[in-house]
Structures are given as structure tokens and as C-alpha cells.
């Protein structure tokens, strides 16, 4: 099994898919909608790109899928695995570290004031 770091950095669509599942289990269309909402419409997945990404994440063991509890709908639902959660948290940690590093340099964007810190 590859180490957590071998998955990093995550591609933007992958990051948002994991982020949407971080909030709880979802079916395909709900993921599609939430990725668009979370990314402020910047990441728009087509049906093909969504399922290509879900296929990869399933094979990598980062998410799992099972039949919806409401059997009449026959939908498949996706949720994060423990490993997926670890990868997601590691990516967030990596991004936080990058952000912190960038804020320490002279001339970087001051998060609090929104202006340049010289």
C-alpha cells in the first residue's frame, strides 16, 4: 500500500470531491453539485470527469461505495475511508504549511489586513 505522501499534492477536483465527502456520504449528483458550490463554480465537473475521479479514488482505497439505504432509489452512495480521511487531512496540513510559509516572507499578503506586509 503506497504511503499517504505519495498521493500528495491532490489535484483540485480530487481535493474538492474529498472535501464534499468530508461532510458525509453522498451520491454522484450531490457530489457534482457540492464540488461546484464549494469551489465557487471554479471547478465544474462533467459526468465523465466525476466518475473518472471516483473510479480512481475507489481503486486507491480513499473512498468506498455501497447501495443507498433507501433501496427503492437504487442509488450508489460514496463516503470517505479512513485512509481517504488521512490523505485529505495531510493535504490540508500541507496547504496550511505553505500558506504559513508564504505569510512569513516580506511583501506577502497579510491575511488579517488583506494588504501587503513590507
Strand 26-27 to 116-117 pairing? unpaired
Could you tell me where the DSSP H helices lie in 60-118? 82-104
DSSP character at residue 87: H
Residue entry with cell 468506498: 64
- Rg, Å, the chain Cα set: 17
Nearer to other proteins, 41 or 114 (CB): 41
29 touching other proteins, by CB under 8 A = yes
User: Could you tell me the smallest distance in angstroms from the CB atom of residue 61 to other proteins?
Assistant: 11
User: Using CB under 8 A as the criterion, what x/- string covers residues 81-110 for binding other proteins?
Assistant: ------------------------------
Per CB under 8 A, residues contacting other proteins are 2-3, 6, 28-29, 32, 44-56, 59, 75-76
Amino acid at each position: 500500500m503506497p504511503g499517504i505522501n505519495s498521493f500528495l499534492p491532490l489535484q483540485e477536483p480530487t481535493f474538492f470531491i474529498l472535501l464534499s465527502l468530508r461532510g458525509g456520504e453522498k451520491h454522484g449528483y450531490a457530489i457534482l453539485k457540492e464540488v461546484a458550490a464549494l469551489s465557487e463554480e471554479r471547478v465544474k465537473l462533467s459526468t465523465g470527469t466525476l466518475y473518472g475521479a471516483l473510479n480512481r479514488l475507489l481503486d486507491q482505497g480513499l473512498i468506498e461505495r455501497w447501495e443507498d439505504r433507501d433501496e427503492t432509489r437504487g442509488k450508489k452512495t460514496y463516503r470517505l475511508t479512513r485512509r481517504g480521511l488521512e490523505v485529505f487531512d495531510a493535504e490540508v496540513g500541507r496547504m496550511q504549511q505553505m500558506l504559513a510559509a508564504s505569510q512569513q516572507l516580506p511583501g506577502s499578503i497579510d491575511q488579517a489586513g488583506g494588504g501587503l506586509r513590507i
